[in-house]
Amino acid sequence: MSSAVPTTTRAVVEELLRRIGEGDPEYIAEMYAEQGDWVSSAVVPPPRAPPRRRAGV
């Protein structure tokens, strides 16, 4: 079991798959942060109500 911290996406995924292959849940869990902040770069406008229509028009 290595203590090296992978720094690229590919290295992280390879390390995760290697740990999954070993089948030790606690060793797999070491890769997950206890707490994380999620940031989305997409700007999503709030939902809009449908336009109002006057009856009989």
Predicted confidence (pLDDT) at residue 51 exceeds the cutoff of 90: no
DSSP 7-57: -SHHHHHHHHHHHHHHT-HHHHHTTS-SS---------PPP-PPPP--TT-
Query: pLDDT, tens digit, for every residue of 15-31?
Result: 999 999 999 999 899 88
Q: What mean pLDDT is reported for the chain? A: 81
CA distance 9 to 30: 17
On whether the pTM is more than 0.75, the answer is no
Predicted confidence (pLDDT) at residue 2 exceeds the cutoff of 80: no
pLDDT greater at residue 56 or residue 3? 56
